[in-house]
């Protein structure tokens, strides 16, 4: 008797989740939400790779001369991600991290959907006026500002 097997593979770099079975070899692309502390400012090569889908060697700071870097680095399939805050507010927040030595945007909620089943409904704006002193402090237990986005998955 023949058995059917299924496999699931996920990759944050390609911003897609592929599900297929051995029976029909069909592919179903699922929505992806990728969020976290990327330690990357909005003009950094990391941010540009994720949001534009490619970067060139000239846009990357390489600290080790032995590192081999291609002329162009691309995400697989020509994919790129969207920032929830930039999509909703047209710009990234002024800051998502606020310490004594640094204040800038390094945290993001990225999304991508080839299947068109994921819709960004809204983001909760960051009220910069709430943060008068570096974090963490008595009112805010983290050095990062919370990011919140609401999506509809249908």
Residue 12 in this model has a pLDDT that exceeds 90: no
Output the pTM of the full model: 0.78
Alpha carbons 124 and 70: distance in angstroms, whole number: 38
Question: By C-alpha distance, which of 63, 62, 59, 61 is closest to 73?
Answer: 59
Residue 101 in this model has a pLDDT that exceeds 60: yes
3-state secondary structure of 45: helix
| β-strand partners of 98 | 103
pLDDT higher for 113 or 152? Answer: 152
pLDDT at 21: 39
What are the pLDDT digits (tens) for 104-137? 999 999 999 877 888 999 999 998 888 989 999 9
Alpha carbons 149 and 124: distance in angstroms, whole number: 6
* 67 secondary structure, DSSP code: -
pLDDT at 115: 72
Residue 31 in this model has a pLDDT that exceeds 70: yes
Q: Is the peptide bond before 136 cis (omega within 30 degrees of 0)?
A: yes
């Amino acid at each position: 008797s023949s058995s059917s097997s299924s496999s699931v593979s996920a990759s944050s770099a390609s911003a897609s989740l592929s599900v297929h079975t051995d029976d029909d070899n069909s592919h179903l692309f699922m929505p992806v939400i990728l969020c976290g502390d990327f330690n990357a400012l909005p003009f950094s090569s990391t941010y540009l790779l994720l949001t534009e889908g490619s970067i060139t060697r000239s846009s990357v700071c390489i600290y080790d001369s032995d590192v081999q870097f291609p002329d162009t680095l691309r995400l697989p399939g020509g994919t790129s991600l969207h920032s929830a805050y930039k999509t909703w507010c047209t710009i990234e927040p002024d800051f998502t991290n606020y310490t004594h030595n640094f204040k800038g945007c390094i945290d993001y909620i990225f999304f991508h959907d080839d299947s068109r089943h994921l819709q960004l409904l809204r983001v909760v704006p960051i009220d910069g006026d709430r943060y008068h002193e570096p974090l963490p402090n008595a009112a805010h237990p983290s050095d990062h500002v919370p990011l919140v986005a609401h999506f509809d998955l249908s």
